[in-house]
Structure 1
């Protein structure tokens, strides 16, 4: 007996500091010389050597079935060249090994800001329709080796998501 795959639509909201608070922070430009405060990225990178790099991604579309989290650090992502993009997130219930399906949300991120994901925030993305987008990424040097936990909804629920 075969099971059919379900595609669940996720409405992507434009990101704001308020609607993204459960998952992390939105960082917008500020004046040079502004004192450090709560609007600046509250980073947690103490568990290793920080790695700041530019990753080049090819057209990714809007669909996903895998979602990932990092427990040992925060992560910052932002696009270069002012290109907008999408990300799906789920709150970091670090006592659970799987994301809470009903709590997954999607956001549209303009190219004039970046996001900081809290430790343990599940995330899928970046996704976009552009041919190519360069993203800067701040995490730990070994995040993708020792701190990369992925859940596959296709395997667990025969489910794929599409951000609209």
Structure 2
């Protein structure tokens, strides 16, 4: 029997510290010399060697069917050159082996900030319509080898998402 794929539209809302709080933090520029406080990224990188690098991604579009999480560390992402981008997320229920479908949310992220994902937050992205975007990424050196758990909605629900 041939199963038909469904495409579910996710309305991407502009990110703010308040509407992203369940998933992590939004970090905006602050004045030089400001002391560390709760508006700074609250990082968990003690389970390995931190890795800070720049990812060069080609046009990714707005559709996805896989979502990933990292349980051992936080992850920070931000675009270079002020380019906006999209990210889908789902809260980090560590006792569940797959994301809660009804709780997936999409965000539009401006190029003047970065996000810090809480450990365990499911995420799909970055996605964008630009020809390419360079992103800085802070995680652990072996995150994508030993701490990379992915759920495929095409396999489980014959479902794909499109952020609009």
Matched, 1:121 2:156: no
Deviation at 1:2, TM superposition (A): 1.2
**CA distance, structure 2, for counterparts of residue 64 and residue 94 of structure 1:** 22
Which residue of the partner structure matches residue 8 of structure 1?
Answer: 8
Residue of structure 1 in register with 2:69 after alignment: 69
2:44 aligned with 1:44 = yes
Aligned to 2:95: 95
Deviations 1:109-136 (A, max 9, x none): 0000000000000000000000010000
- Could you tell me which runs of 5 or more consecutive residues in structure 2 were left unpaired when the two chains were aligned: none
- TM-score (structure 2 length as normaliser): 1.00
Q: Measure the CA separation in 1 of the matches of 2:61 and 2:124.
A: 12
Cα distance in 1, alignment partners of residues 68 and 152 from structure 2: 9
Task: Output the CA distance in 2 between the equivalents of 1:29 and 1:151.
Answer: 33
3-state SS of paired residue (1:119) = coil
Aligned residues: 164
Deviations 1:17-54 (A, max 9, x none): 00000000000000000000000000000000000000
SS class of match (2:87) = strand
Partner of 2:31: 31
Q: State the SS of the aligned residue for 2:145.
A: helix
1:82-117 CA-to-partner distances (Å, cap 9, x unmatched) read 000000000000000000000000000000000000
Structure 1, unmatched stretches of 5+, are: none
* Residue number in structure 2 paired with 1:134: 134
The residue that corresponds to 1:145 in the other structure is 145
Note the C-alpha offset of 1:3. Answer: 1.1
Distance 1:144 1:28 in 2: 27
Write the distance in 1 (CA, Å) between the matches of 2:48 and 2:3.
43
